[in-house]
Amino acid sequence: MQDANRLDMQISIDFNNMMERFVGEHGIGDDELNEFIEKNADIAQRVNETRDNTRWRELPYNQETVVNRILEIAESVRKNYHSFVVLGIGGSALGPIAVQKALNHLRYNELSDDLRRGPKLYIEDNIDPERIRSLFDVIDIKRTMFNVITKSGSTSETMAQLLLITYMLRNCLGDNWANHVIATTDEHKGNLVKIARQFGITTLYVPDGVGGRFSELSPVGLLPAAVCGIDIKSLLDGAAYMDKLCSVDDPQKNPAFMLAALECISMKKGCNISVMMPYADSLKEMADWYAQLWAESLGKLYDKEGCVVRTGQTPVKALGVTDQHSQIQLYAEGPFDKVITFLAVDQYRALMDIPNAYDDIPDVAFLSGHTFNELIDVERRATEYALMKSRHMSKTITLPMVNEFTIGQLMMLLELQTAYAGGILNIDAFDQPGVEEGKNATYALLGKPGYEEKALELKNMPKKMKEYML
Ligand code: PA5
């Protein structure tokens, strides 16, 4: 992309409505902001030094060979398969879901075969037996490629799914079953890589220092995207562009740092809830991806010195305009415990007129002659205004358009924001001990070898009492 086009496609941030001048005493004062920035000015540099956990930042620059391999695999999948099923959970699914929803046709799977740019795509991130069963009612397993994604190679949900598809593929394809599986996992650790090697399964690796929720721009997200014809080079290009914007020395010019600072100040002011509200269906799942990123990275019991801090901010997903008719009442008149981030889009990929009719009913006719594009934009600005008037903090991240380049930027921006917020809060944003506890308890309850002590701990937990049950 030409430099001028890149500039036109640069994401912008408006945080006027976070400030005291606009929302009164619940907002942030200029001095307060400046002091905070000064105090945390070296965060970006400190986060960069934790290279072992921030290798995801290098993904836009160091994957040339792997991208070419992904494009080759994707081409062959497109030619030979009718469905592509991703099996994974958490960071191994939410990124692929968000990118697909943003960049594919909004009704991708329902398009006819000649209009779709690739096979039908299913991202199966739950183990609800009914959902699993239903998948096999809509795919033809002989014409399906399964992409099993697990960084650790040991997550129970994903491994159970692998067991199931191995059984089903073997039943209908015999020895040829492994050709219908692609593994995306750690190169050195876990069981998936062992199984893949044993059966000659095509494998892509999640690089070291790239944790689950930061892995979208690795083969985790790139293969499913490429299979659907999404331009993954442009996605990485957008991520690199944002990484550079966030590499400036002046913290006030670093968009990710500023976003992190604003969220952290709002936390100090009692905003325990962070709402992300995209005004675009294509970005709805981006809010879901961000919810995991923000919650799992910042929800921590201890700080880096081992002191109990119980930090974090609860992410909430809302959709404009849909949730104007459900949640906005609470945001406007409820407690001052929320900060809202709108995701706006300047230019939608469709222009839809609102036709003229019912001239004799002015309360309806006033809509005629406008476009749905104007309507959604006006409603976003009106909601922003209403929240400002009710003295609630909000900010807006605007994408000039939803395309590969802007989605790459947005994901890198939010990943960096999260890493900087972790630095500001002095916590480890890259681990997830709370998730591990649940995973270990599952292993123990299902009798996995090595978890006998945990099983005993669970056996000795307080028994549930009848008087608390109805
Ligand atoms: O962000 C994380 O690390 C987690 O959400 C993981 O992605 C999730 O638990 C799945 O792990 P894995 O990819 O190892 O199966």
Length of the chain: 470
Mean pLDDT of 38-46: 89
The domain boundary residue, chosen from 230, 246, 263? 230
Task: Specify the pLDDT at position 306.
Answer: 96
Mean pLDDT of 224-244: 97
Neighbouring-strand partners of residue 322:
none
One domain for residues 355 and 314: yes
For ligand 1, is residue 321 a contact (CB within 6 Å)? no
406 located within any domain: yes
Mean pLDDT of 124-147: 97
453 located within any domain: no
Mean pLDDT of 293-308: 97
Task: Specify the pLDDT at position 94.
Answer: 98
Confidence of residue 437 (pLDDT cuts 50, 70, 90): confident
Query: Which range, of 65-74, 148-157, 432-441, averages the lowest pLDDT?
Result: 432-441
- Ligand 1 centroid distance, CA of 212 (Å): 5
One domain for residues 225 and 240: no
Nearest Cα residue to atom 9 of ligand 1: 90
Query: Torsion-angle region of residue 371: left (phi > 0), alpha (psi -120 to 50) or beta?
Result: beta
Task: Specify the pLDDT at position 64.
Answer: 96
User: Which residue carries 């290098």 as its tokens?
Assistant: 58
> Under a CB-based contact definition with an 8 Å cutoff, are residues 122 and 227 in contact?
no
Neighbouring-strand partners of residue 212:
none
Mean pLDDT of 325-348: 96
Task: State what percent of residues in the chain have pLDDT above 90.
Answer: 92
Is 454 in the active site?
Answer: no
For ligand 1, is residue 211 a contact (CB within 6 Å)? yes
Confidence of residue 2 (pLDDT cuts 50, 70, 90): confident
Task: Specify the pLDDT at position 45.
Answer: 82
241 located within any domain: yes
Confidence of residue 53 (pLDDT cuts 50, 70, 90): confident
The domain boundary residue, chosen from 172, 206, 230? 230
- From the candidates 38, 130, 188, 325, which is the catalytic residue? 325
How many domains does one find in the chain?
Answer: 2
User: Is the pLDDT assigned to residue 325 strictly greater than 80?
Assistant: yes
One domain for residues 207 and 354: no
For ligand 1, is residue 92 a contact (CB within 6 Å)? yes
Distant-in-sequence, close-in-space partners of 434: CB < 8 Å, separation ≥ 6: 299, 301
Task: Specify the pLDDT at position 124.
Answer: 98
One domain for residues 116 and 250: no
Confidence of residue 435 (pLDDT cuts 50, 70, 90): confident
Range of the structural domain that residue 149 is part of:
57-230
Cα distances (Å, whole numbers) of residue 314 to 137, 144, 341: 37, 38, 13
Is 296 in the active site?
Answer: yes
Cα distances (Å, whole numbers) of residue 453 to 157, 207, 435, 443: 22, 32, 18, 11
One domain for residues 216 and 247: no
Nearest Cα residue to atom 8 of ligand 1: 90
One domain for residues 189 and 280: no
Mean pLDDT of 51-66: 92
41 located within any domain: yes
One domain for residues 353 and 261: yes
Report the atom number in ligand 1 closest to the C-alpha of 206.
Answer: 13
CA–centroid distance for 171 within its chain? 35
Structure tokens at 249: 């020395």
One domain for residues 109 and 159: yes
173 located within any domain: yes
Structure tokens at 277: 């509200």
Query: What average pLDDT is seen over the chain?
Result: 95
468 located within any domain: no
One domain for residues 248 and 344: yes
Q: What is the pLDDT of residues 85-94, one digit of tens each?
A: 999 999 999 9
User: Is the pLDDT assigned to residue 3 strictly greater than 90?
Assistant: no
One domain for residues 278 and 411: yes
276 located within any domain: yes
One domain for residues 44 and 104: no
Is 395 in the active site?
Answer: no
The domain boundary residue, chosen from 212, 230, 248? 230
One domain for residues 80 and 223: yes
Confidence of residue 48 (pLDDT cuts 50, 70, 90): confident
User: Is the pLDDT assigned to residue 249 strictly greater than 80?
Assistant: yes
Q: What is the pLDDT of residues 94-133, one digit of tens each?
A: 999 999 999 999 999 999 999 998 999 999 999 999 999 9
11 located within any domain: yes
CATH assignment at residue 364: 3.40.50.10490
For ligand 1, is residue 213 a contact (CB within 6 Å)? yes
